[in-house]
């Protein structure tokens, strides 16, 4: 019974002590979080006496906050005496001496910390973080470099050092640490790129890593470490992002020569350049691959693709010189003779016919050449559909309405539920429109409003609305007939005749309802012929006289785009984009207008 009473007494006392400790911990943490350190220290002093290791940091911070530096010095020395391997305690002692106004002793403690730290990963991290917490970045870097020296092949701390240089504001040193990581192990390239993107920022408008320091340091590495091709790859990646394809060509060519490559990089760069309408660089890429000789695996493809790129460059011009078109057609004809008719030369066959039809005024010859090819060779049905559509367009140029319709109808029948078939159906509708059969054309467009391809659906909707607006009230279809014939002239690249036809509508039919359509179509012609100021004037006319009609929002956005991209008046463009947001809040152009407005205003766009 005696022992039971003693046990009960001791157990009750233990419970009381445990409850008191829990209360002290709760109150201590509450005051600590509220930064009432003078109250928190009362509890932490008691807690520290019982469990020094568990409560050292809290007690130490309270002592510094209440300026009891002597006690802070005392307990830190006590811990150092019993934990000599914890070099990060020297940092805390140095901080005490700093607050006591003793810089010599402060420095002595920091130096001891670096000197005595055991170069193992856990202790290196602990000490470096201690220095970093008090913004002693140079000491933290020194600690990591000591760790790097001890374990150069396992963990060299490149990312940690780079982050410290970033905090110091030394971007060049930071960049070099990331490049060191790539040099250490090339598989670090993507991790280093991600970190650089986060550190240097990613300028989407100007092409990603738009920082001159990175390019400079990469170029140095390429010169100093010619065997490390990963730096050339990284630089090419950046140049391509920034659309600096000329510089990318120089680097890609040099790397291909250094590696004695087959030109793969140049073929890829050519494709990228073409997708960005830089046909000059694409041509240089293909020429370089061709210069490697007929034994090169890309020799034939480079010859074909070069001509395709030349075609894109030619047709990008509103009125290319006939001599250029003729020379390119001759080169295509020579290539077709050299390689024969096949899927490889199919693009040349098609484009050669288009050149003759649209740029050399030889639609008859173009039709004959395509018909001969189609009669003698069997292509994939999708390629054959392309040829039929082009052949139909050429018959339309010559006024062979029935022949064009027949070809469009064949494609429509063969691909009834596919985009190419819906495209053929719209061509047939447009053909009826050119032929002034507006009722039939509108009926077909109304069906195509539900087309799976958004472009076809939108084009069908626009054409249907034009017909409805022009002859919905006034049954006189003559003005619309003149308008549709002007559109056909534009298709035939007869721009002057098209403008004259459009102007004549106003002279002959003063009460017509095509005013906004005429301005919009003339703006299209002026843009095609690089008369951007005249095009802007046409859009202004729409906004002045027809702001609530079909082309109101289109005109405002496209006028803003002209001032933004071609007329070099950013203030005017900014105002027009802002007007877009206010006047046409439901327009499909609002998202893009808002983005461009913010860019012109100088906002940071993610």
Give 138: exposed, middle or buried? Use CB within 10 Å, 0-12, 13-18, 19+: exposed
**532-536 LR contacts (CB < 8 Å, sep 24+):** 532/562, 532/566, 532/567, 533/567, 535/562, 536/562, 536/563, 536/567
HSE-CB of 482 using CA atoms within 13 angstroms: 21
Residue 606 has pLDDT above 50, yes or no: no
| Cross-strand bridge partners of residue 203 | 208
Cα–Cα distances in Å, from 65 out to 29, 42, 131?
15, 13, 19
HSE-CB of 490 using CA atoms within 13 angstroms: 22
Question: What is the pLDDT at residue 15?
Answer: 44
Give me the mean pLDDT over the 466-479 stretch.
77
Residue 1 has pLDDT above 60, yes or no: no
Identify the band that residue 558 occupies on the pLDDT scale cut at 50, 70 and 90.
very high
Question: What is the pLDDT at residue 10?
Answer: 46
Question: What is the pLDDT at residue 604?
Answer: 54
Give the Cα-Cα-Cα angle 14, 18, 23 (nearest 5 degrees): 150
d(CA 33, CA 51): 20
Question: What is the pLDDT at residue 137?
Answer: 94
Q: Which pTM was predicted? A: 0.71
- Comparing CA positions, the residue from 179, 140, 139, 127 lying closest to residue 158 is 179
Q: Residues 12-59: pLDDT tens digits?
A: 444 444 555 567 788 888 888 888 888 888 888 888 888 888 888 888
Question: What is the pLDDT at residue 7?
Answer: 47
Give me the mean pLDDT over the 522-551 stretch.
92
DSSP assignment, residue 4? Answer: H
| 72-86, 120-134, 288-302, range with greatest mean pLDDT | 288-302
d(CA 383, CA 433): 27
Q: Which domains does the chain have, with CATH numbers?
A: 514-606 (1.25.40.10)
Tokens of 604: 């940071």
Query: Three-class SS string for 400-424?
Result: CHHHHHHHHHHHHHHCCCCHHHHHH
Please state, for a pLDDT cut of 90, what percent of the chain lies above it: 51
Residue 4 has pLDDT above 80, yes or no: no
Give 361: exposed, middle or buried? Use CB within 10 Å, 0-12, 13-18, 19+: middle
Residue 207 has pLDDT above 70, yes or no: no
Q: Residues 134-182: pLDDT tens digits?
A: 999 999 999 999 999 998 888 999 999 999 999 998 989 999 999 999 9
Q: Residues 498-533: pLDDT tens digits?
A: 999 999 998 888 778 889 999 999 999 999 888 999
Rg of the chain in Å (alpha carbons)? 38
Q: Residues 335-367: pLDDT tens digits?
A: 999 999 888 898 999 999 999 998 898 999 999
């Amino acid at each position: 019974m005696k022992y039971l009473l003693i046990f009960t007494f001791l157990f009750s006392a233990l419970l009381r002590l445990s409850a008191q400790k829990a209360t002290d911990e709760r109150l201590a943490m509450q005051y600590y979080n509220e930064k009432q350190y003078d109250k928190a220290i009362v509890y932490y002093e008691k807690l520290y006496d019982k469990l020094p290791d568990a409560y050292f940091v809290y007690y130490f911070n309270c002592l510094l906050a209440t300026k009891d530096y002597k006690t802070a010095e005392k307990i830190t020395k006590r811990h150092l005496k019993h934990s000599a391997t914890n070099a990060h305690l020297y940092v805390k002692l140095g901080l005490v001496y700093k607050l006591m106004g003793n810089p010599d002793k402060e420095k002595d403690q920091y130096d001891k910390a670096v000197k005595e730290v055991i170069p193992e990963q856990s202790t290196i991290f602990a000490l470096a973080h201690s220095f970093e917490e008090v913004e002693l970045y140079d000491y933290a870097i020194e600690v990591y470099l000591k760790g790097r020296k001890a374990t150069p092949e396992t963990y060299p701390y490149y990312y940690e050092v780079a982050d410290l240089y970033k905090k110091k504001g030394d971007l060049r040193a930071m960049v070099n640490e990331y490049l060191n990581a790539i040099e250490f192990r090339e598989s670090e390239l993507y991790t280093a790129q991600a970190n650089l993107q986060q550190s240097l920022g990613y300028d989407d408008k100007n092409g990603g890593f738009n920082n001159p320091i990175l390019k400079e340091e990469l170029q140095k590495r390429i010169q100093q470490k010619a065997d490390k091709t990963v730096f050339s790859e990284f630089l090419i990646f950046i140049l391509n992002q920034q659309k600096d394809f000329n510089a990318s060509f120089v680097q890609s060519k040099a790397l291909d020569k250094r590696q004695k490559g087959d030109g793969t990089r140049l073929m890829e760069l050519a494709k990228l350049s073409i997708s960005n309408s830089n046909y000059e660089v694409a041509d240089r890429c293909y020429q370089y691959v061709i210069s490697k000789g007929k034994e090169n695996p890309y020799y034939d493809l480079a010859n074909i693709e070069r001509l395709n790129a030349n075609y894109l460059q030619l047709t990008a011009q509103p009125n290319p010189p006939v001599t250029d078109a003729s020379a390119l057609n001759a080169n295509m004809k020579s290539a077709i003779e050299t390689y024969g008719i096949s899927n490889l030369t199919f693009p040349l066959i098609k484009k050669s016919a288009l050149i003759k039809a649209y740029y050399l005024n030889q639609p008859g010859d173009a039709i004959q050449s395509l018909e001969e090819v189609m009669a003698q060779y069997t292509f994939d049905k999708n390629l054959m559909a392309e040829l039929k559509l082009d052949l139909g367009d050429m018959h339309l140029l010559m006024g062979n309405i029935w022949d064009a319709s027949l070809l469009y109808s064949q494609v429509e029948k063969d691909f009834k539920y596919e985009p190419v078939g819906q495209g053929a159906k719209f061509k047939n509708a447009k053909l009826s429109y050119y032929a002034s059969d507006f009722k039939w054309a509108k009926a077909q467009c109304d069906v195509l409003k539900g087309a799976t391809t958004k472009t076809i659906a939108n084009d069908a909707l626009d054409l249907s609305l034009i017909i409805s607006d022009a002859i919905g009230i006034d049954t006189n279809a003559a003005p619309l007939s003149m308008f549709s014939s002007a559109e056909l002239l534009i298709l035939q690249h007869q721009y002057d005749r098209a403008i004259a036809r459009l102007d004549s509508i106003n002279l002959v039919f003063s009460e017509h309802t095509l005013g906004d359509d005429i301005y919009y179509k003339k703006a299209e012609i002026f843009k095609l012929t690089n008369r951007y100021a005249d095009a802007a004037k046409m859009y202004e006319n729409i906004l002045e006289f027809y702001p609530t009609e079909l082309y109101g929002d289109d005109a405002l956005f496209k006028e803003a785009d002209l001032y933004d991209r071609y007329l070099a008046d950013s203030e005017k463009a900014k105002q027009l984009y802002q007007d877009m947001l206010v006047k046409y809040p439901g327009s499909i152009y609002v998202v893009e207008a808002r983005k461009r407005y913010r860019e012109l205003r100088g906002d940071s766009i993610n």
